Amino acid sequence: MLVIKNLHAEINGKKILKGINLEVKPGEIHAIMGPNGSGKSTLSAVLAGKEDFQVTEGEIYYQGKDLSELSVEERAKEGIFLSFQYPVEIPGVSMINFMKTAVNEQRKYKKLPAMSSGEFLKYMREMKDLVELKSDLANRSVNEGFSGGEKKRNEIFQMAMLKPKLAILDETDSGLDIDALRIVANGVNKLKTPENAVIVITHYQRLLDFIVPDVVHVLYEGRIVKTAGKELAYELEEKGYNWIKEELGE
């Protein structure tokens, strides 16, 4: 589904990703862990196509397509979803209008007819229930005045609405208490199918108790320095990242 080869990326001349190799297959859950500043969020932004970052070397293939040729919105319509670490507040844009536009743009892309208002509202209600989103949030402006936990839950709600093939969860656990974490993780698990894939970016092993990864990668200074099964997350939790640094001879 996703093949990243020797990916280098920079922002304002500052090199952040220095040769990433990664392959994600349908049905898999990958966790990417690493200390602050290792390039985790940059990787998610580059996958989403954020123009602030320049890819200087390497390739990203998604479902056989060269991602560099696709705009942010095309990638989204192809099924790449980014759950933001800091969801943006957009006063004056209602959640309903936002989601309706997004869902119908995606349907148009897939040459499906637009959903009627009635169909859409029904669908929205179902997805709200699925991810246990409080109903009034959907009636407000996008993320405006939402608490930290509500914002993260709203990200998972949007994920439910858009049914991505590849979801990238960028530190979705940050700022969540244990109950909220469980709800968010439940939502992700309910949306999991053998056809889609999830990349979970996190500092801590905590979230991985709920969203159990098939593979864990350690990102350090712009490169993936270690890849193993889910037990790696526990090892990191226990020993910290210094252990990796020592292994690398630093």
Using the minimum distance from each CB to another protein, give the nearer residue, 91 or 240: 91
Out of 53, 62, 84, 220, the residue judged to bind another protein by CB under 8 A: 84
Out of 2, 7, 31, 48, the residue judged to bind another protein by CB under 8 A: 48
Q: Does position 158 bind another protein by CB under 8 A? A: yes
Q: Does position 117 bind another protein by CB under 8 A? A: no
Helices (H) and strands (E) in the chain, counts: 8, 12
- 187: which 2 tokens? 């939502």
Using the minimum distance from each CB to another protein, give the nearer residue, 102 or 225: 102
The nearest distance, CB 71 to another protein, in angstroms, is: 8
The residues near 165 (Cβ < 8 Å, ≥ 6 apart) are 1, 26, 63, 78, 79, 80, 195, 196, 197
The nearest distance, CB 102 to another protein, in angstroms, is: 4
Q: Does position 65 bind another protein by CB under 8 A? A: no
> 183 with 132: CB under 8 angstroms?
yes
Q: Does position 228 bind another protein by CB under 8 A? A: no
- Phi and psi at 113, nearest 5°, equal -70, 150
Using the minimum distance from each CB to another protein, give the nearer residue, 105 or 235: 105
Using the minimum distance from each CB to another protein, give the nearer residue, 42 or 205: 42
Q: Report the alpha-carbon distance of residue 174 to residue 181 in Å, rounded.
A: 9
> 124 with 97: CB under 8 angstroms?
no
Place of tokens 């590849």: 166
What order do you get walking across the sheet with 14-24 strand by strand? 14-24, 2-11, 54-62, 65-66
Q: Does position 97 bind another protein by CB under 8 A? A: yes
Q: Does position 71 bind another protein by CB under 8 A? A: yes
> 30 with 211: CB under 8 angstroms?
no
Using the minimum distance from each CB to another protein, give the nearer residue, 169 or 244: 169
The nearest distance, CB 70 to another protein, in angstroms, is: 12
Q: What is the size of the binding site for another protein (CB under 8 A)?
A: 27
Out of 7, 82, 131, 216, the residue judged to bind another protein by CB under 8 A: 82
Q: What is the 3-state secondary structure (H, E, C) of 21-62?
A: EEEECCCCEEEEECCCCCCHHHHHHHHHCCCCCEEEEEEEEE
Other Cβ atoms within 10 Å of 98 Cβ, number = 17
Q: Does position 102 bind another protein by CB under 8 A? A: yes
Q: Does position 53 bind another protein by CB under 8 A? A: no
The nearest distance, CB 46 to another protein, in angstroms, is: 13
**Residues binding another protein (CB under 8 A):** 48, 50, 71-73, 76-77, 81-82, 84, 87-88, 90-93, 97-98, 101-102, 105-106, 109, 141-142, 158, 162
